[in-house]
Amino acid sequence: MKDTKIQPELGMGATICGYSDRHAATIIGMTYFSSGTRKGEVKAVTVQRDKATRLEIDPVYGVYGKQDYSYEADTDAYEETYTLRKNGRWTVSPGYDTSSLWIGTRREYYDYSF
């Protein structure tokens, strides 16, 4: 998902994507390009994973049913920095495509089929 049109802001929600699972996070820091044609644009964001509380378990499908969560910031959570790549994706490190970041929305999802 290419989300470079959304400008990151401190406190904005984000989603950490790893394989089929998703984890809600909050942007807590940003670094900017200091020179060149992109000077002043955000080049990296630092996020902390949020505390996600599942609201209810589906009485018919159990954990496999609909997943609705409430979120709150976790200031003790691990910090992770994602860098904007030329392809428009936010990733942890070059060539590491199994973990990327969507900016602008918080989502939590566990794929219980594994």
Amino acid found at 1: M
pLDDT in tens, 30-47: 999 999 998 999 999 999
**Mean pLDDT value across residues 47-58:** 91
pLDDT value of position 98: 64
Q: From its phi and psi, is residue 40 left (phi > 0), alpha (psi between -120 and 50) or beta?
A: left
**Mean pLDDT value across residues 84-106:** 81
pLDDT higher than threshold 80 for residue 89: yes
Q: pLDDT tier at 88 (50, 70, 90 boundaries)?
A: confident
**Mean pLDDT value across residues 51-61:** 85
Which residues pair with residue 101 across a beta bridge?
Answer: 16, 90
Q: How high is the mean pLDDT of the chain? A: 87
CA distances from 109 to 23, 41, 53, 78 (A): 7, 31, 11, 19
pTM for this structure?
A: 0.84
pLDDT value of position 112: 82
CA distances from 55 to 32, 60, 100 (A): 37, 15, 26
